[in-house]
Amino acid sequence: MTDAVTLPPEQIVQEEPHVPTRRLLVFNIGGSSFACDMDSFREIVPMQHITRLPGAPNTVRGLINLRGTIVTVIDGGTSLGKQAYGRAEGLILLVDYFDRWIGVGVDDVRDIQDVPIDQFGAADQAEIPLPGAVTGAVEIEGKRVLVLDIKTVVQQVIGQGR
């Protein structure tokens, strides 16, 4: 969280003023792109056998065994009001959630981008059916991409869990 970087004097007097950046992970689900702070993710693992969780809504895919820990995987697509992610291929983004992990199933990871904070624009909350999930929007390769707070997304789907 410390963005107070002390720079040597010669760098400060450069023409371009230094603007802090945020490192974003850009991923695709159901034909849409989204971005989240890279810090929110612990790990990215390939799609694997998911045990269905009967009784759960379609925003929850089920359980995986991550090196001996049972991790609940939510569907990034249906959670964000889009199409479900494709089944066989795809990736699971592991999110730090309280003292454990929750997986978010997505179709593909597109890119990791360092975006200067002055390029973050406002976005309408209503673009996603989860209140508080959208924190802004950025332009990446000429396309507008919503920036999400992934923990809020997880929280809205899972609740307090356990």
Partner 1 sequence: MDTGRYAKLFLSESRENLSEINNALLDLERGGSDTAIARLFRAVHTMKGMGAAMGYTSVAELSHELETLLDKVRNGTLVVTRPIIDTLFSGVDALEQAVDLATGPAPQQLDVKEIIARIQTASSEEAPQTFTSEFAIAGVDKKGPAASEPSTPSAQKTSRHIRIDAKRLDTLMNVVGELVIARDRIAKIAEQMGDEALLEATRRASEILATLQNEIMTSRMVPVWQVFERFPRVVRDTARALGKDVDFKIEGREIELDRSMLDEMGEPVLHLLRNSLDHGIETPDAREKADKPRMATLTLTAERDRATVLIRVTDDGRGIDQARVLPRAKKLGLVDQNTTKLTEQELVAIISRPGFSTSEKVTEISGRGVGFDIVATRVRALGGSLEVHTDAGLGTSVSMRLPLTIAISRALLARVDKEVYAIPLTHVLETFSLSQPMLLQSKGRQVVAIRDDLFTAIWLRERVGLPPAASAASGQVVLIELAERRAALIVDEFIGQQEIVVKQFDGVSGSKTLFSGATILGDGSPALIVDASSLL
| Residues of the shown chain interacting with partner 1 in the complex, contacts defined by CB under 8 A | 49, 51-57, 59-60, 63-65, 68-72, 97, 100, 102, 157-162
Smallest gap from Cβ 96 to partner 1, in A, equals 10
Count CB-CB contacts under 10 A for residue 135.
Answer: 17
Which is nearer to partner 1, 1 or 126 (by Cβ)?
1
Helix (H, G, I), strand (E, B) or coil at 109: strand
> CB–CB of 106/90 below 8 Å?
yes
Which is nearer to partner 1, 56 or 140 (by Cβ)?
56
Smallest gap from Cβ 98 to partner 1, in A, equals 8
Which is nearer to partner 1, 64 or 137 (by Cβ)?
64
Q: Cα torsion at 59, 61, 62, 63 (round to 10°)?
A: -110
Residue 100: closest CA among 72, 121, 119, 58 = 72
Smallest gap from Cβ 47 to partner 1, in A, equals 14
Which is nearer to partner 1, 56 or 84 (by Cβ)?
56
Residue 92: closest CA among 108, 81, 80, 69 = 108
Smallest gap from Cβ 141 to partner 1, in A, equals 33
Smallest gap from Cβ 149 to partner 1, in A, equals 17
Which is nearer to partner 1, 14 or 160 (by Cβ)?
160
